[in-house]
Structures are given as structure tokens and as C-alpha cells.
Amino acid sequence: MRLVSVNRLQAGMKLGKKIYNDEGLVLLADGMELTDSLIRRLAKIDIGYVYVEDALTDDVEITSLLHDETRNRALKVIRNQFQEMSGMSGITRGFYHLDKKFSGIMDSILDDMSSQEDPMIMLADMNTADNYLYVHSLNVCLYTLVLGIAHGYSKEELRVIGLGSLLHDIGKTQIPVKIVQKPGMLTEDEFRHMQAHTEIGYKILKEEPNIPLLAAHCALQHHERINGSGYPRGLTGNQIHEYAKWLGVADSYDAMTSNRIYKKAMLPHQAVEALYVGSGTLYEQKQLELFRDRVAIYPLGLTVKLSTGESGVVVKIDPSTPHRPVVRIISGPEGEKITPFERDLSTALSVVIMDVSDEDSSAVQSTSV
């Protein structure tokens, strides 16, 4: 499979991986042949990149952190609960019994992830369309859990940080929809309203009898930054709980790698570079280092250009060296077509990735060839 940005898709290409809507239902099935009208439709929804079938890389399999059934249930529960709460005003209506709705989902998520030897953050887990809030909540939960597993948290600790990350934006259900879904920069007054979602979320979660208090603090502190520039309280360093620091990294990463009406999605390596700008000021350096080691900086199927001048496609990622993938070379230094061969960058240490591109989407070959 090849990874191609939506604005580079061409009629006749076939989807290599399903696209879901915000209910976890399949919007477009894998194997579907794209038409001009379908491509225009994709351009109107929040999808930045899609996987397409390609004869040169038809052996590349894209795996997800979750089984389809788990993902579908999780998105449905998030969507239904958040929509129910959005229809209510104020936060003193009694309990929502969130533990009954979300605890089972969290157990299923942890079961799926614990079955994987080295779970990694993959671009494939972002292939979902429609309402950003629901999908963002699930993505941030998955990324935070990947980091928590790599850090060595116990199952109970993972459950707490998982619930906190899954529900970190629940306060946005009480922010006017016109602000939450505004397709552009917020005014100063609108931004103050938006910032309130952290404290609102904390108040909602801390009153829930079976939601851990630390999960509530995740909602409260996920926009705090270690130099005191965050909100709502301008906490610094160790004043911010460790869970919230992990969550802040995952939250920022997903925001940067998600396509929005007003902002094109970054590719993973670009988002990681942006996070590193805040190393030691916004985020803990050690946490960023672990994050870098657990994210597929160059996703499977991505077209890259090497320091040799050759171009190729990322076909394999070793979790121990995710920034040095195996690249299937498909064109030579002058752009000439060659017999494909693979170069393992974890051993070819003198060769580096110089650039990434989907400009050559015309090179995608039909699997029927």
C-alpha cells in the first residue's frame, strides 16, 4: 500500500484501508475504486492522507492498535455520551454514570493493546472522518496508552491514565458548538471560553463516584506546560501530574497530525520536530524522547527521498529503530525507474531520509498489473 495525500488522489486508484465515520462505521471500504466525485467528497471531510493499493507495495500490511469491533464500540460510546451531554446546560445535574459507559470500553482497549508485543503510534490509526472531537478523544487515549505501556505503568495505572485521556476533552461538551467547531482562529473572548473546558471537565469527572480523581486531573491539566505558559492555572514542572504531561504530548501530536478545515495535517516527522521545539520548556525532554521512539515517524507506505538521490517507499518499521525504516527503492538518483530493491536504513547508516513526498502519486501502480 502507498500513502497519498487526498489532494494527490487520482480517479481509478483503489483504497487500501477503510475510512470510518465518527460512529465507527465504514464510510468507504478498502478496495473501493475512487472516482472524481469520491475524491471531491474526501476533500471536504477531515482526512489528510489515505492508503491506496499499489502493485509495487502490495505486500505491505497496515495494522491498527485496535480491532475494528473495539474501535467501533469506542467511537459510538464517545459520540453518544458527548452528544447527550452537549444537549444539557450546566454541570450540576447529578451523575452521568460515566464509569458504566466507559470502563468496559477501556478494558477492551487495554486487552487489544496488551496483545501486541511492541505497540506503536501509526498514521493508520488516524484514518477516520467527521467529528474531530470524538476521534481526537480516542486517538489521544491510544497514544497516551502506548506511552504508558512503554514507560512501564501497571495495568491499573494504565486504566486510570487511559480513562483520563479518553475523557480529557469532556468539558468541551459544555462549550458552545459554534466555538468548538469554528473553522478558523478564535477571538480572544472565544479562546477564553474554550480554555474553560479543562476546568469544566475536571468538575464533571471529579463528581463521578467511580472515575478516579487522577483521571479528572488529566482533564484539568492536559494544557499545562512545564514552563508555566499553559492553562488554566499556569502550573510549572512537578506541579503538573506526570499523567497530564504524557497526555499533553499525545494531545498536541494528534492535533498537529489531524486535518482540519483551517489547517492541513502535518506528517508524523513534522509533528515530532514541532514538539521538540518545546523540549525542556513545554514538554519534558525524557518524555519526548520516549514518544519519538514509539511513533512511526515515517509511516508505512510513505514515499521518501534518500541522501543517495533514490526514492522509495517505507515498507517495514523495526520498533527498536523506528526512525531508520526499511525502504523499497523504486527509482534511481535521476528519477529513472529501476527494479525495486530494499535498503535497511538501520544498517545502511550512511544513508538518511532527506525528504518525504507524495508528489509521485502517478507512480502508484494498479494491483491488477
Domain boundary among 270, 294, 318: 294
Looking at the structure, do residues 191 and 281 belong to the same domain, yes or no?
yes
ω into residue 232 within 30 of 0, thus cis?
yes
Tell whether 167 and 255 lie within a shared domain. Answer: yes
* CA-based torsion, 348, 349, 352, 353: positive or negative: positive
pTM: 0.87
Residue-range definition of the domain harbouring residue 102: 68-294
Residue where a domain terminates, one of 294, 312, 328: 294
pLDDT tens for residues 105-145? Answer: 999 999 999 888 888 988 755 555 556 788 899 999 999 99
In a domain, 77, yes or no: yes
Please check whether residue 128 is in contact with residue 20, taking contact to mean a CB–CB distance below 8 angstroms.
Answer: yes
Residue 52, classed as helix, strand or coil, is strand
pLDDT of residue 89: 57
Cα-Cα end-to-end distance for the chain: 14
Report how far residue 206's alpha carbon sits from residue 218's, in angstroms, rounded to the nearest whole number.
11
**pLDDT at site 369:** 32
**Same domain, yes or no: 125 and 155:** yes
Average pLDDT, the chain: 88
Lowest mean pLDDT among 29-33, 72-76, 215-219, 324-328: 72-76
What pLDDT score does 367 carry?
A: 43
| pLDDT tens profile 224-266 | 999 999 999 999 999 999 999 999 999 999 999 887 766 777 8
* Each residue's pLDDT tens digit, 34-54: 999 999 888 877 677 889 999
75/203 same-domain check: yes
Could you tell me if 89 and 207 lie in one domain?
yes
Q: Which residues contact 113 (CB under 8 A, 6 or more apart)?
A: 65, 66, 119, 142, 145, 146, 149
pLDDT in tens, 154-201: 999 999 999 999 999 999 999 998 898 887 889 999 999 999 999 999
Task: Give residue-wise pLDDT tens across range 81-112.
Answer: 998 888 665 554 556 778 888 989 999 999 99
Judgement on whether residues 156 and 281 belong to the same structural domain of the protein = yes
Q: How many domains does the chain have?
A: 2
- How many whole angstroms separate alpha carbon 29 and alpha carbon 20? 9
Residues 113 and 158 in one domain: yes
Q: pLDDT, tens digit, for every residue of 8-17?
A: 899 999 999 8
| The Cα angle at residue 121 between residues 13 and 184, in degrees rounded to 5 | 70
Q: Is 67 left (phi over 0), alpha (psi -120 to 50) or beta?
A: beta
The verdict on residue 330 lying in a domain is: yes
Query: Is 170 a domain residue?
Result: yes
- 368 band by pLDDT with thresholds 50, 70 and 90: very low
